[in-house]
Amino acid sequence: MSEHPLADEAFEPYEPRRPVPLPVYWMAIALALWGAVTLWNDSTAQSSGVGQRLAEAGDMTRRHSAAGADLFAQRCATCHQANGAGVAGAVPPLQGSRFLGANPQLVVQILLHGINGPIAVGGDRFDGHMPAFGSVLDDGQIARLVTHLRATWGNGGEVEAAFVKAQRQATRERHASWNGGADLVSLDPAVGPQPAFLSAPPAPSDSVAMALARGGKAGGWACSACHGAAGEGRSGVPRLAGLPADYIAQALLAFSTGTRPSDIMGPIARQLDGPERVGLGRLYATMASASRARPELDGDLARGATLALQGDDRRDVPSCFSCHGPSGFGVAPIVPAIAAQQPAYTAGRLAALGRHGKDDAGAAVMPSVAARLSDADRRAVADYLATLPPSPAIDTDTKDAR
């Protein structure tokens, strides 16, 4: 102690200089820039959204007919084509169609309930399967759409929302689609001679599948507990009604083997055997039920429509409909319907496919397409698809028999 006296009584403790490492600055600055760019993007998106709404609200009359034209472009043109020419052998034309010249009640009823059966339009016969728009368009939208249709291809004249409301009320007990032209000619004989509707032989009811769907297996979950009694799904839980039977059976198999990992579906699917998977597939494929899907992710619907209808060539994203069918109704046996799907499920599924879909054997090209979609694009397309009418569920087996 004494030989080592305190060298400096006046020592002032100080903090040695430890400069903040440069990489920390780099990251801080990069993050700040990122934040600034994100904020800027958001604010421009918001202001353009505000501008859009203002422009829409600007001129009531213009909005009225333009909204009908927009509805047509986004919900109808995929099948009937922008010029109303239809598709030879598959989709009836609107150009020169007697149905549009008939009583407006007829067009409203077709939109509300859809068509399921043979129909003659313009001298050609079509095996018509048109979706029901009653669950996805409100009275005002249907009124604007019908006004637009009649102005473009019919006899003109405005249809009011109140008229649609009365029509909806008059057929509120109806749950099935109109049985082709034979049913419609009874509403208005002006549509001309129509092919007879031969009712399909009733599909053999699969009591095993029905019991599984309603009651589950061995105390496990019933399908309907989450997917709904009519397979319509709910927020985050997919709609099953109208998906191709093979797609459902394959998805159940993929859940059970883990190639499509799911903590919820995995244990349930492992309880099922092959015939049960097939039975459930057929049960839901032939279930026609109204859409319960509504846009809920704040997606940009116009952007979603562009992606679904045209894709994005800048990002090498093909349009959804180039594979999922012209209106997102799916293409049997394995391409699923995406119309009227629950948006949270669609967006989540796209995100999962983009992240680790390469392991998902059944998903074909979706992983590489999904990986090129941004979060905003996933929400946009999911919300747009939720505005579409559900696929007209038909029993392909009995259809062939007919």
Partner 1 sequence: MTDPGHTATETESPRDQRKGRGLPHSIYALGGGLLLFALVMLVRDDILLRSGPPTPAAQDNGAIAFTPPPMSSIPNGPAGASIRHGMAIFENTGTEARAFVGNGLACRSCHLDAGRKADSAPMWAAWVSYPQYRAKNKKMNSMEDRLNGCFSYSMNGQDSPSGGPPPKGDPIYTDLEAYFHWLASNAPTGAKLKGAGFPKLKLSSLGYDRDRGRAVYAQHCASCHGDDGQGRRDLNGRQVFPPLWGANSYNWGAGMAQINNAAGFIKANMPLGAGNSLTDQQAWDAAAWIDSQERPKDPRQKGSVQDNAAAFHEGEKTFYGKTIDNHLLGTGTSPKPRL
Residues that bind partner 1 (CB under 8 A): 16-17, 19, 22-23, 25-30, 32-34, 79, 81-83, 85-91, 93, 126-129, 310-311, 313, 315-318, 322-323, 325-326, 329-332, 334-335, 364-366, 368-369, 371-372, 391-392, 394, 396
Q: Across-strand partners of 60?
A: none
Q: Which is nearer to partner 1, 78 or 167 (CB)?
A: 78
Q: Least distance (Å) from partner 1 to the CB of residue 331?
A: 5
Q: Which is nearer to partner 1, 16 or 219 (CB)?
A: 16
Q: Least distance (Å) from partner 1 to the CB of residue 102?
A: 22
198 φ/ψ angles, rounded to the nearest 5 degrees: -95, 115
Contact predicate 328/321, CB 8 Å = yes
Contact predicate 125/194, CB 8 Å = no
Q: Least distance (Å) from partner 1 to the CB of residue 362?
A: 9
As given in the structure block, the two tokens for residue 324 are 């999922």
Q: Which is nearer to partner 1, 10 or 60 (CB)?
A: 10
Q: Least distance (Å) from partner 1 to the CB of residue 88?
A: 4
Calpha distance 331→221 (Å, rounded): 29
Which of 227-230's residues contact partners 24+ apart within 8 Å by CB, and which partners? Answer: 228/289, 228/292, 230/287, 230/289, 230/290
Q: Which is nearer to partner 1, 53 or 372 (CB)?
A: 372
As given in the structure block, the two tokens for residue 172 are 């509120």
What dihedral angle (degrees, nearest 10) is formed by the CA atoms of 256, 262, 267, 269? -40
* CA distances from residue 224 to 24, 139, 218, 283 in whole angstroms, order as listed: 53, 30, 15, 12
Q: Which is nearer to partner 1, 299 or 325 (CB)?
A: 325
Contact predicate 362/258, CB 8 Å = no
Q: Which is nearer to partner 1, 16 or 58 (CB)?
A: 16
Calpha distance 101→127 (Å, rounded): 21
Q: Which is nearer to partner 1, 265 or 331 (CB)?
A: 331
Q: Least distance (Å) from partner 1 to the CB of residue 208?
A: 26
Q: Which is nearer to partner 1, 143 or 350 (CB)?
A: 350
Helix, strand, or coil here: 49? helix
Size (the chain), residues: 402
Q: Least distance (Å) from partner 1 to the CB of residue 369?
A: 4
Contact predicate 367/357, CB 8 Å = yes
Q: Least distance (Å) from partner 1 to the CB of residue 192?
A: 21
Helix, strand, or coil here: 127? strand
Calpha distance 399→199 (Å, rounded): 10
The owner of tokens 């109808």 is: 76
Q: Which is nearer to partner 1, 272 or 283 (CB)?
A: 283
Cα–chain center distance at 283: 20
Q: Least distance (Å) from partner 1 to the CB of residue 77?
A: 11
Cα–chain center distance at 345: 10
Q: Least distance (Å) from partner 1 to the CB of residue 83?
A: 5
